[in-house]
Structure 1
Amino acid sequence: MDFQCLNRSVWKEALSSYSARIVSLNKPQLVSLDDFYCNQLPALIRQRNPNPYITTSELSKLMQWKLTRGKWRPRLLDFVSSLDEALVKSASQKAFQSLPDISKAISELTVLKGVGPATASALLAAYAPDVAPFMSDEAMVAALGNSKDYTLKQYLVFADKLQNKARELSVEGDSYTPSDVERALWSSAVGTKLLDSLPNSEPKVNTKRKRKQ
């Protein structure tokens, strides 16, 4: 799906297919991890008023979700899982209190070992999906043309683009958050990969049959 696409039905279809795309990846635990990230974690964070925060075990599970949905990098999980509980609580409280200043919020979180702008963005997106989108490779490629630069500066450009797209799509009764836009872009990219993999396998099968004959 082209990021510049103005057809709202295309965006709506991509977003509504998100859960099915998660299932289609056939990755162990991804369905339950995605349910935790999308549904359980936001509620857990928000109920800790007046100063919301995240625990080390929750941050570890968020990292599992991020790595399972994307590229698996076990060292990051090791770093995050061994973080001091008080440090995680303090950093996340400061980050949430910094919003809607995304730059400051990301900076508060990246003091934690193993937490870069992408992981920090995932945490902010869980707490404030209307402000901060997750910095996924698929959405980065769609919005910016590449996913190589994981800096704060690049994230701010990315977030601004998705915020603008969410506003553009939120008309005629439809309401989109920057996180909705990210999920739609991710879903579309995964769907395209699935479709591309189907035709590629058929010629191989046909070629083998011809050789046998």
Structure 2
Amino acid sequence: MATKRRNPSASAPSKTTESTRKYTRPGVEASVRLRSLSPISDHVDGWDRALSRYAAMIRAKGGTRLADLDARREGLPLARRCDRTWPRIADEAEAAPAAAAGATSLTKEQLLDVIVEWKFLKGKPRNALWPLLRSNADASVAAASRRAFAAADGIPKTMSVDASSDGDDASRYATEIAAAVSRLCEIRGVGPATASAVLCLYRPDVFAFMDDEVIECLYDGKRGYTLKIYLEVNDRCREIASQLNMAMEERKGDLEGSSSSSSGGGWTPCKVGKALWTVATMSANDDERGLSTIFDCDAARGPIEKNDSTLNSRKRTKKG
């Protein structure tokens, strides 16, 4: 399943389109603005400052409870596995023995008490899913997650985004990502969004989390939670991460001695998603001072305009 590759610095819709589009989630205009900064090489510091505010916005969004859940989620044994060196698993036939030998798996308790609780508090709760989620057996959650992680192990860490890239490589890359997501979706009540919340921990270098704000920022159609939409959104996060890393590499001499919140492997699709969500949340919380540090080169433009749908959504959020 191939996804259309884009240049994130040049693929943003026209100003007219952006100014007339109605977003359902508060603050998305700010993440669109961050995404649209061009050339991206001139705005690496802004992206980095956005990412550095993630923890503060987690607390602003859900208080101590969400901050604690976020810390518990990041501390799960499956997190950050991509920081180690792992052999590429060529296909599922080779992956099966690895899974059977006791590869990392997710428990039902971790899924329900950490991943889902975190996802529902950070975004919109979908309480109708609880009966389905609770109906899963412990063994089925473990087995499906082992298969998903084995599939994720087979995905190369990077793929070229040059115009000269082989289309077959892009198609195979998307197919491998889809396979890992689909394995987790075998768990009842788990869709692509919840699957991405797990996989972005296991392979943050490949998977972004499917936040509502990130979908609306990067997907041109109506927000949805299908595998097709996830593949497109994730692909755009990967392309942005690739361009940020290339820009950082070019500026390597200038950045020596500087503090970068994107350090420790550079930018990943997961970090790009976090930065976009953070900026949207800052805007939703009227953090104009914080936003000005991110968009300092555009400070003269003044506060970000918020359309009617955003304001109404914010009112609904505060009433709730």
Q: TM-score, normalised by structure 1?
A: 0.84
Q: Residues 95 and 154 of structure 1: is their aligned pair in 2 closer, same or farther, counting only changes over 3 Å?
A: same
SS at match of 2:190: coil
What is the CA-CA distance between 1:148 and the residue it aligns to? 2.0
Query: Does 2:255 align with 1:164?
Result: no
Per-residue CA distance 1:29-63 (angstroms, 9 max, x = gap): 111101112233534989x9851110000011200
The 3 A distance-change label for structure 1 pair 30 and 146 is farther
1:33-48 aligned within 5 A? 33-43=69-79
The verdict on how the C-alpha distance between 1:50 and 1:87 changes in structure 2, with shifts beyond 3 A counting, is: closer
Q: Does 1:154 align with 2:229?
A: yes
Give the deviation of 1:76 after TM superposition. 2.1
Q: Percent same amino acid at aligned positions?
A: 34
> Is residue 271 of structure 2 the alignment partner of residue 180 of structure 1?
yes
Task: Give the helix-richer structure, 1 or 2.
Answer: 1
- How much has 1:128 moved relative to structure 2? 0.6
The 5 Å alignment of 1:90-109 reads 90-99=143-152, 100=155, 101-109=176-184
1:75 pairs, out of 128, 147, 155, with 128
- Unaligned runs of 5+ residues in structure 2 are 1-30, 83-98, 156-175, 253-262, 289-302, 307-320
2:36 match: 4
In the alignment, what sits opposite 2:142?
89
Q: Which runs of 5+ in 1 are unaligned?
A: 201-213
Distance 1:63 1:42 in 2: 16
- The residue number in structure 2 matching 1:112 is 187
2:60 match: 24
CA offsets, 1:81-100, max 9 Å, x none? 33101101110011111122
Matched positions, count: 199
Indicate the larger mover: 24-33 or 125-134: 24-33
Shift of 1:15: 0.4
Paired residues of 2:78 and 2:105 also in contact (CA < 8 A): no
1:58 to 94, 97, 110: 110
Inter-partner Cα distance in structure 2 for 1:90 and 1:134:
22
Single out whichever of 3-12 and 171-180 deviates more from structure 2: 171-180
Q: Which residue of 2 aligns with 1:204?
A: none
Alpha-carbon distance between aligned partners in 1 of 2:139 and 2:78, rounded to the nearest angstrom: 20
- Pick one of 202, 207, 210 that aligns with 1:135: 210
1:14 and 2:50 matched: yes
CA distance in 2, matches of 1:118, 1:79: 16
RMSD after superposition: 2.6
Are the structure 2 counterparts of residues 33 and 147 from structure 1 closer, same or farther at C-alpha, using a change threshold of 3 Å? farther
How far 1:10 sits from its partner (Å)?
A: 1.2
Aligned partner of 1:191 among 282, 287, 292:
282
Relative to the length of structure 2, the TM-score reads: 0.57
Higher relative contact order (CA 8 A, sep 6+): 2
